[in-house]
Amino acid sequence: MSTDEAFHIWECELCSYVYDEAKGAPEDGLAPGTRWRDVPEDWSCPDCGATKADFVMRRVA
């Protein structure tokens, strides 16, 4: 993995919660810089409980 790879923004299609790879989700145990591909498959949206499959990439940070 290149360290120059841009971070991405992922949005829950059900509730619009935003997962920013650069910021991570420390409250859910995801450190800043955690790539979407490294988020566990059983992780769910902290706001509505949606699965990873319910998220779409919105933009590059």
Given a cut of 90, whether residue 45 has pLDDT beyond it is yes
Q: Name the nearest CA neighbour of 21 among 44, 31, 50, 55.
A: 31
- What is the pLDDT confidence band of residue 60, given thresholds at 50, 70 and 90? confident
Model confidence, pTM: 0.86
**pLDDT, tens only, 1-34:** 455 689 999 999 999 999 999 999 999 999 999 9
Q: Name the nearest CA neighbour of 50 among 10, 5, 4.
A: 10
Buried b (16+ CB within 10 A) or exposed e, 27-49: eeebeeebebeebeeebebeeee
Residue ranges of domains in the chain, CATH in brackets: 8-60 (2.20.28.10)
pLDDT at position 28 is: 94
- The pLDDT of 32-53, averaged and rounded, is 98
